Amino acid sequence: MGCTLFVIRHAESQWNPIGRYQGLLNPDLSERGEKQAKLLAEELKNKGIKVVYTSPLLRTRRTAEVIAQTLNVPLIEDKRVIEIDHGVWSGKLVDEVKKEFPEMFEKWIKEPWTVDFPEGENLEAVFKRVKSFIEDIKRKHEGETVAVVSHTVPIRALYCAALDLPLQKFWSFGCDNASYSIIKFEEDRTTIHKLNITCHLERAGLYEEAHRAL
């Protein structure tokens, strides 16, 4: 029978527009992000979502709260979908990282699966935890539709895990703020039915393309 998973990236945080690596640091949503979250929640009405899972960080938790309240469904925190720990990059602007860690930054853009963030995580660790999350969702919510609010790195890793793709495909998926995608897990196949949907933001003039290095 399988299940359907709405995969949602949190709305714009205070650090997204300036290109600052967030990792496990905890900025809130921006003013535009609050508006994006409300539009996203309205977009998700009548989709049959039974529960919303969320990373515990403020930017995801706040986005998920708006959605869960609008849909009148339970909200569950799950640390497995928290953002990658960027370690020493956390809190730094992209331009600062380029200057301080030029070789590692180039690897992150070209071969992200080879990067071990000093004092942080690597993609393989994120892949393993989101893979575990997927297996639990499929087992617990057979025949149901659920949602998860997460971050750009675990979301891209989740796509690789869901489709049984290597992490070399990590950058192959768009992942904008307050976007949603739909994955259907069936007995004989897994299909991405929609990817990085942002039309609800574009209609209201609230769409901002994600930074390509974040």
Tens-digit pLDDT profile for residues 8-53 = 999 999 999 999 999 999 999 999 999 999 999 999 999 999 999 9
- Identify whether the C-beta of residue 202 lies closer than 8 Å to the C-beta of residue 32: no
Longest dimension (CA), the chain: 51
Please give the sequence-ordered ranges of beta strands (E in DSSP) within 61-202, or none if there are none.
75-77, 145-150, 180-185, 190-197
Buried b (16+ CB within 10 A) or exposed e, 21-41: bbbbbebebbebbebbbbbbb
Rounded CA separation 43/24 (Å):
28
Rounded CA separation 185/142 (Å):
9
What is the phi/psi pair of residue 125, to 5°? -65, -40
The pLDDT tens digits for 106-122 are: 999 999 999 999 999 99
Q: Rg of the Cα trace of the chain?
A: 16
Active-site residue 151, yes or no?
yes
Residue type, 112: P
Mean pLDDT score, 84-88: 98
Task: Write the CB contacts of 188 (distance below 8 Å, at least 6 apart in sequence).
Answer: none
Residue type, 33: G
Selecting among 10, 86, 141, 200, the annotated active-site residue is 10
Mean pLDDT score, 114-142: 98
What local confidence, expressed as pLDDT, does residue 1 receive?
81
Of 78, 52, 49, 83, nearest to 65 (Cα)? 52
pTM, two decimal places: 0.98
Selecting among 86, 141, 151, 200, the annotated active-site residue is 151
CATH homologous superfamily, domain 3-202: Phosphoglycerate mutase-like (3.40.50.1240)
